[in-house]
Amino acid sequence: MRAFGLYKIVGFYLAMTSVSLGAIGARSGLRALLPGASWRAWLVAVALGLAAGMAVVVMTRISSHRFVWASRLDQEFRALVGDLSGVETFLIAASSGLGEETLFRGLLQPALGLWLGAAVFGLLHVGPNQRFVPWTVMAFLMGLLLGAMCLWTGNLLAAVLTHLTVNYMNLRYLAARPGVRL
């Protein structure tokens, strides 16, 4: 990926994060975004985020080997993603995970509720053609999962880590040469 395209993507998500954090801070303060001072709360959020992320990645891989629609979706995304280095993949995964979670779970979910917030998340993941409909449905389901994690933990850390993990692992998989399994 050319650096200019990477800067646009990362810049977009950092702007999304900044606007969301500004709105959250003005509305209710930023304290609820991260676990409290307890090391146990941090540990639970980190463990939950990484475990949920890896579980979703495993389900994604199984789906792409068992279902035609998932395999086709992989091919569509592989064509869109192109070549990405590990650093580029991490920057995109981290900025998108942080940006989307601060917007959807931090800002919109408290106002819209779990189900409507997840529906908006899913609808904003509509792809360029009809073959991406399963991605939209999966984004809605992920919105429910990520939103439930925020409700359960009381903060965004687990959701951000889940989102980052899924994006990073799936982008690395899609950017790998055909036939290489990650």
**Which of the four pLDDT bands, split at 50, 70 and 90, describes residue 177?**
low
CA distance 46 to 52: 10
**Which of the four pLDDT bands, split at 50, 70 and 90, describes residue 121?**
very high
Q: What are phi and psi of 54, to 5 degrees?
A: -65, -35
pTM of the model: 0.91
CA distance 30 to 176: 38
Domain positions in the chain = 3-175
CA distance 37 to 63: 39
Examine the pLDDT at 136 and tell me if it is beyond 70.
yes
CA distance 41 to 22: 25
Instruction: Identify the residue with better confidence: 64 or 81.
Output: 64
pLDDT digit string, tens, across residues 37-74: 789 999 999 999 999 999 999 999 999 999 999 998 98
Instruction: Identify the residue with better confidence: 181 or 149.
Output: 149
Q: Please state, rounded to an integer, the average pLDDT across all residues of the chain.
A: 90
